[in-house]
Chain A
Amino acid sequence: MFNSELMKRLSDCFGPSGREKMIREMIKNEIKDYADEITTDPLGNLIARKKGTGKKILFSAHMDQIGLIITHVDEKGFLRFANVGGLNAKELLGLRMVFDNGLEGVICQEELKDKEKLTTGKLFLDVASTDKEFIKKNFRTGDMCVFKSEYYETKDCVICKAADDRIGCYVLIEALQNHPETDNDVYYVFSVQEEVGCRGAKTAGYSIDPELAIALDVTATGDSPDGIKMDVKLGGGAAIKLKDNSLITHSDVKDLLTHLAEKNNIKYQYEILEFGGTDAGQIHISREGVPSGVISIPSRNLHSSGEIFNKADVEECIKLVIAAAE
């Protein structure tokens, strides 16, 4: 059964890259009774371990979401910003943003002169205040904000912000709570700063030094008119990644995941993403190398305030993670 309440809380929780404190606390609370050991490393990765003497396995889902960092506050309440993670000006115009203290703003655009292109430098966040004191007190250079949008679900799908990669975190939380009987030494890593270059994964991969690593992240689909050509579709099951720009999945890992899916009657599809990367990209080149793969949750409209995924696909992903942990 899909736990909508958990997913909504995960999606709504504030946590842009580098400022994951709140989401880390939230996830820690969810898993604290299920892990043998919970640690936080210098970059802020949350690492939950189920101890064992067998194979060392690392699962990684990133806690951070894309957002904006405020670079300038003027006294009229017009804030300038730069993006944190992949976002461009066209995608931002008109959006509502929210800060960690709950205050909100709207992204507006400066007048564009003849033939001028829309860039982030031409946008500003209007925080809807004419009170200079209020503005000065509540907004500072260095503050970050994220999309403000409502969680929504239909019978089979969900629209929400930060499905990338809170849905991955959801999968790991559910999997950890249903951790199988096994000798394996399993690390459930809720990583930081993936959106700005998989930085958390790099250090977590180094310090844990696993024998097998599997990342949980979203991937695009080819089933909508948006022009992306892929064989992946919503409802097609857990996606076993074959390749993206950061990783060519190790053949043994691909075979393992395929075998597990077939053996356990888990619905799956193969995925090749022609852009983008995941935590596995950093982990697989750690030290002498780590055979790695990715279980992806197919999603549409990525890096927007309304990312869409299929609940059944998520269930299959959870099953596959549990099978792999064994």
Chain B
Amino acid sequence: MFLKELTELSGVSGCEYEVRNFIKDKLSQMGCDFYVDKLGNIIAHNKGRKNKTIMVAAHMDEVGLIVSNIDSEGFIKFKAVGGIDQRVLNSKAVLVGENKIPGVIGSKAVHLMTSQEKESSLPIDKLYIDIGTNSKEETEKLVNIGDYVSFNSSYVEFGDNLIKAKALDDRTGCSIILELMNQKLDADFYGVFTVMEEVGLRGAETAAYQLEPDLGIVLEGTVCADMPEVEDRDKSTLIGKGAALSLMDATTVYDIDIVRSVAKIAEGNNIMYQYRTSASGGNDAGAVHKTKSGAKAVAISTPCRYIHSSVNVASKKDIESVYMLAKQVILENQKGEQ
């Protein structure tokens, strides 16, 4: 739901205003109960049959850049926000600040490069954004230190039910929670749209603290490296093969009994699923399961190729699988006698 709009909004970690306002708007239109907490997380409540407190979380923020300095010629220096391989920044269009001033991250013309330069990639502190001004003063009128910069990348449907957009990590999760809220299920859960996941699971810490969930269901966009020249064992997830269930990552060792029970729910409802095989990376579950006296947590993710770049690719079918599985897990946990 609203995936196209969500991915085209700017919401770099620490500056999720646009995404937050959009989601607040939609929640209001749906007649859902929600509030915004002290860090900017949206905490929405779907009332219904309740056995336990369930927190369904997806993060609103995306990786991007932040303006660190304006040089004497008016070019803009920046730092990365979240984990970005600097090589994805070469020859890109970006949008700077609240007013979305268009800019480009260029690259020296190959004609002018020495052979040594061609062999190495430039580190981030050697890159800069050009907004077309001629002087420092001109740039300073439009741009400030601390302004956030997002990729300029539009939503495109292509191939066999595939989507290309920026920030599928984790607007897919946000879109799925909106859909779940819209269903008005007779099953109690909190739909939580967190901030600052990409820079250390920050929003999830305070959201979980407030809710004290028994079960956290984190809906993420996750690594999918099913490309040529990558060994099977390193791919982590495969596109089109269903909702990815995490077993272990750097921030959480998932309770295997719960993971296998989610797999059973998928099988029982004919929902395609796979296991996320990589043990690296992390997500909001890392914060949720350790909050206060502890909680159980699972992560159900949409495989995304080229994650943390401006051209994420995911399969509509996988997104649908994650949505259906999340829905069934909620219903299953809240069904039966109270």
Contacts and interface: CB of A to CB of B under 8 A. Distances in A.
A–B in direct contact per CB < 8 Å = yes
Interface of A: 17-19, 41-45, 69, 71-72, 74, 80, 82-84, 121, 141-142, 193, 196, 199-200, 202-203, 206-207
B253 interface: yes
A202 B290 contact: yes
B3 interface: no
19 contacts: A18-B253, A18-B256, A41-B293, A43-B290, A69-B247, A71-B278, A72-B232, A72-B233, A82-B280, A84-B279, A142-B247, A142-B248, A142-B256, A142-B259, A199-B290, A202-B290, A203-B292, A203-B293, A207-B292
Contacts of B277: 71-72, 141
B255 interface: yes
Given A42-B294, A72-B233, A72-B277, 8 more contacts: A19-B256, A42-B296, A45-B294, A69-B247, A83-B279, A84-B253, A203-B293, A207-B294
Contacts of A45: 294
Interface string B232-246: 111000000000000
Contacts of B295: 42
Interface size class of B (residues with CB under 8 A): 20 to 34
A121 B234 contact: yes
Contact of B294 (A43, A72, A80, A84): A43
Given A18-B254, A72-B233, A82-B248, A41 B279 contact: no
A206 B248 CA distance: 24
Interface in B271-328: 275, 277-280, 289-296
Nearest to A200: B294
B130 interface: no
Contacts of B234: 121
A45 B295 CA distance: 12
Contacts, number: 68
Contacts of A17: 253
B8 interface: no
A83 B266 CA distance: 28
B289 A43 contact: yes
A78 to B, nearest CB: 9
Contacts of A18: 248, 253-256
B140 interface: no
B18 interface: no
Nearest to B279: A82
B248 A84 contact: yes
A196 B252 CA distance: 8
Nearest to B260: A142
Contacts of B147: none
Contacts of A141: 247, 275, 277
Contacts of A71: 233, 277-279
Contacts of A44: 255
Contact of B214 (A42, A43, A121, A196): A42
Nearest to A140: B275
Contacts of A193: 253
Contacts of A69: 247-248, 279
A43 B252 CA distance: 11
B237 to A, nearest CB: 11
A182 to B, nearest CB: 26
